[in-house]
Amino acid sequence: MQSVPPLRDRHDVLVVGAGPAGIAAAIHLHRRGIKVTVIDKAMFPRDKCCGDGLTTGALRLLDELEFEPNTVKSWTVCHDVVLRSPTGKEVRLQLPADAGQFAAIAPRSEFDAALVQHARNLGIEVIEGASFERVVGNERDGVTVSLAPLGVRTFSAVVAADGMWSTVRKGLGANLPNYLGDWHAFRQYATNVTGPASEKLFVWFDEDLLPGYAWSFPLSGGRANVGFGILRGSKSSPADMKAQWQSLLQRPHVRHALGEGAEMIDRVTAWPIPARVTSATLSAPGVLFVGDAACVTDSLTGEGIGQALLSGKLAAQAIGQSAPGDLLAPGRRYEQAMRKEFFADHRMSIVLGKILAHPLGARGALRAANLSEWTRRNFVRWMFEDEPRSIITTPSRWHRKFLKRPGAFASRDTV
């Protein structure tokens, strides 16, 4: 019988969840020569309730993964952005159109399946229809887990990329008590979009939605991803949101943007958005939490794909830099890196969110963005996370090409 190599030599890592966070972790681990297995309880393509919007930050991280946008059929690059203030005034902004991509929309059913395929093409094992059940033990030099239907297995580390309702987090008793997410958001697809929303990205700060907002993100073929999100604990409850959703779709500015013949298709979906990275559990012995499982979305906008990709990368680095068999070192390294990359941005987003929560603040912010050509050009790049939210206050992240770098995929021949 062939002997099983000792764990120290195997250094194989389990990634639970094949969303953006899990696939980013898996690819970065694989690049370091670490054997990695990804499991997901879903079969791909699977939908994920999302706005499908990719910021400049997310696109740069995908570029780094050598992901190919052309593998996503509906990938839609967008340059034109319209922000509408609570008074109805519109601010029109433009992302650079000449050097690379700064914003794109990619339906998650297609995008996540393409990411999984990209990982497989690199030689990474991705097992669909396999669920993480529980941690059996994480005391010595490995983490023993129970997976359905794979059975009990031991890994040198586990990356928990299993989203908002992380079973790994729950199983380790690391859930925040009664936590239901910071945002709650609705999404539905529209077809036959003939108005300006067929090409432009709209963000509506209607007064009754504050401190949230509504959006329409354009998709190829006259489609759009339309939705809105509100902060939990604000004046609207998720139950009120259902009524608000119907009223939103009837508002003249929304109807005008979509065009009179636009139709809402598929079902409306709603999902929470976790945005409290500074108080979430980021690691346990042998286990690192990434993406929504680490509550890492931007508390200002609710965007989390770029944050998922970055936290996955940081987890892979932390594991790669630690000796196999040391269950504590990856967590220490990872938490340090997460503090550096996310905490200042999170605090800045909270401050800005408080300003935007009030009609006067939202009006003032949009007025400031619209002051001059310079503010318009740079505000939109900052808004789309071309630079970290709080780069101004974190000199360690300063660089010479501040808001002047080309977009993602600039050196590639892509859509």
- Give the binding site for ligand FAD (CB under 6 A): 16-22, 39-42, 48-53, 58, 131-132, 161-163, 167, 185, 187, 227, 271, 273, 291-292, 297, 302-306, 308
CA dist 161 and 308 (Å) reads 8
Q: How far apart are CB 395 and ligand FAD at their closest, in Å?
A: 27
- As given in the structure block, the two tokens for residue 56 are 């400049």
* Residue 49 vs 410, nearer CB to ligand FAD: 49
Q: How far apart are CB 357 and ligand FAD at their closest, in Å?
A: 19
- As given in the structure block, the two tokens for residue 404 are 């002047």
Instruction: Provide the 10 A C-beta neighbour count for residue 385.
Output: 23
Q: How far apart are CB 19 and ligand FAD at their closest, in Å?
A: 2
* Residue 48 vs 313, nearer CB to ligand FAD: 48
Q: Which of 291, 290, 293, 296 is nearest to 277 (CA)?
A: 296
CA dist 312 and 317 (Å) reads 9
- Regarding beta strands 125-128 and 35-40, do their DSSP bridges make them parallel or antiparallel, or are they unpaired? parallel
* Residue 63 vs 292, nearer CB to ligand FAD: 292
CA dist 36 and 51 (Å) reads 29
- As given in the structure block, the two tokens for residue 352 are 């800005």
- As given in the structure block, the two tokens for residue 136 are 């059996």
Q: How far apart are CB 304 and ligand FAD at their closest, in Å?
A: 2
* Residue 227 vs 324, nearer CB to ligand FAD: 227
CA dist 207 and 89 (Å) reads 12
Distance of CA 381 to the CA centre of its chain: 18
Q: How far apart are CB 372 and ligand FAD at their closest, in Å?
A: 28
CA dist 409 and 386 (Å) reads 14
* Residue 159 vs 324, nearer CB to ligand FAD: 159
Supply the DSSP symbol for 42. Answer: S
Task: Establish how many alpha carbons lie within 13 A of residue 337's alpha carbon, considering only the half-sphere containing its beta carbon.
Answer: 22
- Regarding beta strands 76-77 and 53-54, do their DSSP bridges make them parallel or antiparallel, or are they unpaired? unpaired
Q: How far apart are CB 28 and ligand FAD at their closest, in Å?
A: 14
DSSP letters along 232-294, please?
Answer: TTSS--HHHHHHHHHHHHHSHHHHHHH-TT-EEEEEEEEEEE-B-TTTS--EETTEEE-GGGG
* Residue 24 vs 366, nearer CB to ligand FAD: 24
* Residue 21 vs 172, nearer CB to ligand FAD: 21
Q: At CA 322, angle to CA 320 and CA 324, rounded to 5?
A: 90
Q: Residues 135, 289: contact at Cβ < 8 Å?
A: no
Q: What three-state secondary structure class fits 174? A: coil
Supply the DSSP symbol for 297. Answer: S
Q: How far apart are CB 312 and ligand FAD at their closest, in Å?
A: 8
Sign of the dihedral defined by the CA atoms of residues 338, 343, 349, 354, in that order: positive
* Residue 203 vs 262, nearer CB to ligand FAD: 203
* Residue 311 vs 390, nearer CB to ligand FAD: 311
Q: How far apart are CB 168 and ligand FAD at their closest, in Å?
A: 7
Q: Dihedral of the CA atoms 289, 347, 374, 414 (nearest 10)?
A: 0
* Residue 39 vs 190, nearer CB to ligand FAD: 39
* Residue 39 vs 210, nearer CB to ligand FAD: 39
Q: How far apart are CB 260 and ligand FAD at their closest, in Å?
A: 25
Q: How far apart are CB 226 and ligand FAD at their closest, in Å?
A: 10
CA dist 281 and 293 (Å) reads 9
Q: How far apart are CB 326 and ligand FAD at their closest, in Å?
A: 25
